[in-house]
Amino acid sequence: MDRIERHPILEVEDKPKVRFYFKGKELLARQGEVITSALFANGIKIFGHHVKDGSPQGLFCANGQCAQCMVIADGIPVKGCMTQVKPGMHIVPCDELPELPPDDRPPEHFEEIETLGTDVLIIGGGPSGITASLELAAYGIDVIIVDDKHILGGKLVLQTHSFFGTVADCYAGTRGIDIAKKLSDEVSKFPNIRVMLNSTAVGCFEDRKIGIVSGEKYLLIKPKRLLVAAGARERALAFPGCDLPGVYGAGAFQTLVNRDLVKAAHRLFVVGGGNVGLIAAYHAIQAGINVVGLVEAMPQVGGYKVHQDKIKRLGVPVWTSHTIKRVDGTDRVESVTIAKVDKRFRPIDGTERTFEADTVLVAVGLNPISELYEQARSFGMKAYCAGDALEIAEASAAIFSGRIAGREIARSLGKACDIPGDWQVRLNILKSKPGKTTSLDVTIPPSKLFPIIRCIQEIPCDPCIHVCPKNMIEMKGDPVLGIPQVVKDECTGCTLCVAACPGLAITLVDLRNDDQAYVTVPLEVNDERVKVGGTVEAVDIDGNFVCKASIEDILERKVYDRTKLVKLRVRPDEAIRIAGLRLQESFDARRSEKTLGDDDYIVCRCERVTAGEIRQLIRSGVRDLNQLKVLRCGMGACGGKTCEPLILQLFQEEGINTEEVVRFTKRPLVAEVTLRVLAGEVSEQRGADKEGNK
């Protein structure tokens, strides 16, 4: 089974014990596990075949926004990524159009659709939504949080790494999974915050009510104020083979790996060098997955240098000024071909390299989920936005963004609410892109016991200056965005700074013995070679080999928060260069003989429309995306949310100013809901549950 049995950060607890059936074969799932994760864990990654051309359908968003994971569960078509496995459930692939079960009886039992009132409705239980609710609740304001997942936290629950930012403002130095728990615990302390989990906001209406589907019940909420904190959706990327099972986004990958502890791949290739792509590559290695490489089209990665450094040290090659050219495979990903790009980001012929891989992770940016905010504003509602729904930034910024939004809403409701003048400044700092990079200058102090801080890029991060008991570390320049440096020679060798750095960018060097030196490096990866007395490859900041090093000791303490510290014994002339351990082998490239036409790739995934078909209509004069519906573009489950940006890119490539292009007409409901639920029909199961609860 493709399950993660051991993880350096996450606890692996309950064993699979829920029996279900796929195509008649008995399988096991974990309690509460969704169908797609259970199938992945059992080695099943094709969930059906498309009605148009019989193409295999696999996981794509893992967030309920498309329908590529649709299966037939107990006779009903459902989205596998949003449907939990039930004991005895019978699942079959969704091949072509699903046949609905016969049901000739007229609907009999309806209930009046309930309308709830509240001061503030918050859509999204991620970092910004939660922090906003806490600010509001503190002023005695009634709040309802609606979230479509089974726990609060949003993407925080997928993040095993320690966060950047500031200790004072956004839990810097704390792992995302633990921040989610802290925030959720805070919410539970306020009786005036009501949380509705497994609930989806599907539309905002002219009477200023929001439609909510909670389980199998449809209800309406009429708030005095609305806050949309629904986060962001990942941008797709179109290229030959992009529709093969095994190509999906970082969110889907992290959901499988870090939430559901499923080994989602064996040989992963990452496209995109922003923080999302760099972190996802790191999460893959933590899960025991080989990362073949990472490409970034820009001349340098867009994410933090410390994120890039730590995957390069572990053995992941990073190719900048490169792009993915194609993915090949019969019914799943088998190989990926990359190529160098010119200054206009076009692939350069003759620079192609092909690698064997079974999964391609696309991390090329995010788009705000703001449809409900736009609907609400069009109907004159007093609506607000926070977090990624307002502006794409790091989760640390989303935490602080929610606090500001909460205060703004409280003030609009007449509360004597102060918003400190420096809050916006602090938020802007947390949203900062990586700044300039400086050179590393190491001076050996007289004591010969000292930390080396390889955080040499201006980023918002300050845990290291708070943890040293001797206050040896200060920021050079800005107190948050500056470069940390050692300002005293008073190191006690406590190693707290080595464990506390979110970027794993600090080592402790001991040169007090003239014959041999010791270097203590942080490690958050399980590897059987890392053991006392063992030998490992020590590397520099860029992953270049320095020496073979003997492991003197492995330090594991509660105060290190699951980060291991590995003490290496090396020669004194090698110690200063060592920044980490290389634990992954390299992968060789080969030539690919397969070819596809330039436009033979899918742009509209739901309806399987190619770039060539769309270009033909653009060249014929089409300037309204709704006219592309003749090809069924935008008519699938995602409602054009995935393909619209890709189609606009085709207009640009054809020399058309996208300001001239009419966008898809937005659907009145932003998410799918069955007519039965929307009409308020009481299902037999719900009716039985209500009777049993009387």
The alpha-carbon radius of gyration of the chain (Å, integer) is: 26
* Joined tokens for residue 410: 């409280």
Distance CA 269, CA 223 (A): 45
Evaluate whether residue 250 is within a structural domain. Answer: no
The answer as to whether 284 is a domain residue is no
Q: What is the DSSP letter of 367?
A: E
- Asked if the structure places residue 268 within a domain, the reply is no
E-strand ranges in 86-216 read 90-95, 115-123, 143-146, 193-196, 199-204, 210-214
Please, where are the H alpha helices in 303-353? 305-314
**607 to each of 252, 534, 603, how far by Cα in Å?**
21, 54, 9
Is 235 exposed, middle or buried (CB count within 10 Å of its CB: 0-12, 13-18, 19+)?
Answer: middle
Is residue 674 in a domain? no
- Cα(92)–Cα(39) distance, integer angstroms: 11
User: Based on the domain organization, do 94 and 129 belong to the same domain?
Assistant: no
Give the C-alpha distances (Å, rounded to integers) separating 16 from 22, 41, 73, 172. 15, 10, 19, 35
**Are both 562 and 613 inside the same structural domain?**
no
604 bridge partner residues: 609
Q: Are residues 487 and 398 in the same domain?
A: no
The candidate with the shortest Cα–Cα distance to 177, out of 561, 566, 564, is 561
pLDDT at 514: 85
- In this structure, the answer to whether residues 458 and 553 fall within a common structural domain is yes
Exposure on the CB side of residue 173, measured as CA atoms within 13 A: 20
**Residues 35-84: tens digit of each pLDDT:** 999 999 999 999 999 999 999 999 998 888 888 999 999 988 899 999 99
Calculated CA dihedral for residues 165, 171, 176, 178, nearest 10 degrees: 170
Other Cβ atoms closer than 10 A to 599: 15
Per-residue pLDDT tens digits for 178-190: 999 999 999 999 9
Q: How far apart are CA 377 and CA 208, in angstroms?
A: 10
User: What is the CATH number for 608?
Assistant: 1.10.10
| Cα–Cα separations (whole angstroms), residue 24 to 19, 74, 77, 146, 562 | 12, 12, 17, 37, 42
147 and 194 fall within a common domain: yes
CA distance 408 to 412: 6
Long-range contacts at 525-530 (CB < 8 A, ≥ 24 apart): 525/8, 525/285, 525/286, 525/314, 525/583, 526/6, 526/7, 526/8, 526/286, 526/288, 527/583, 529/583, 530/554, 530/564, 530/566, 530/581, 530/583
**Nearest 5°: phi and psi at 568?**
-105, 145
For residues 454 and 578, state if they share a domain.
Answer: yes
Give the CATH number for residue 169: 3.50.50.60
d(CA 396, CA 145): 20
DSSP string covering 483-550: EEEE--S------HHHHH-TT--EEEEE--SSS-EEEEEEE----TT-STT-EEEEE-TTS-EEEEEE
Confirm whether 142 is domain-assigned: yes
| Structural domain ending residue among the three candidates 400, 430, 460 | 430
Angle subtended by helix axes 305-314 and 275-286, to nearest 10? 30
| Residue 302 DSSP symbol | S
In a domain, 239, yes or no: no
Same-domain check for residues 481 and 550: yes
Residues 175 and 227 occupy one common structural domain: yes
Task: Report whether 132 contacts 144 (CB < 8 A).
Answer: no
- Tell me the C-alpha distance between 464 and 497, whole Å: 6
Residue 496 to residue 467: CA distance in whole angstroms: 6
Q: Give the CATH number of the domain where residue 42 resides.
A: 3.10.20.440
Q: Write phi, then psi, for 144 (nearest 5 degrees).
A: -120, 125
Say how far apart CA 11 and CA 379 lie, in whole Å. Answer: 47
pLDDT at 693: 41
- The helix or strand, by DSSP H or E, that contains position 385, with its residue range, turns out to be strand 383-385
Same domain for 73 and 170: no
**Are 91 and 36 members of one domain?**
yes
Taking Cα atoms as reference points, which of 402, 410, 399, 409 lies closest to residue 460? Answer: 399
Instruction: Tell me the three state secondary structure of residue 343.
Output: coil
Q: Which two structure tokens, joined as six digits, stand for 671? A: 């998410």
The domain boundary, picked from 513, 547, 582, lies at: 582
Final residue before a domain boundary, out of 101, 131, 162 = 101
E-strand spans in 189-263? 193-196, 199-204, 210-214, 217-228, 232-234, 247-249
Cα separations (Å) of 402 from 127, 395, 398, 417? 7, 11, 6, 15
Can you list the positions of beta strands (E) in 215-296? 217-228, 232-234, 247-249, 267-271, 290-296
197: in domain? yes
Query: Residues 521, 575: contact at Cβ < 8 Å?
Result: no
Per-residue confidence (pLDDT) for residue 650, from 0 to 100: 95
Per DSSP, 210 falls in state: E
Residues 226 and 373 in one domain: yes
What is the domain range of residue 69? 1-101
- Whether residue 181 lies inside any domain: the answer is yes
Q: Are the C-beta atoms of 166 and 462 separated by less than 8 Å?
A: yes
DSSP state of 601: S
Q: At what angle do helices 176-188 and 395-412 cross, to 10 degrees?
A: 20
Handedness of CA 461, 464, 467, 473 (dihedral sign): negative
The answer on 374 and 228 residing in a single domain is: yes
Low-confidence ranges of the chain (pLDDT < 50): 596-597, 688-689, 691-694
CA atoms within 13 A on the CB side of 258: 27
Specify the number of domains making up the chain.
Answer: 4
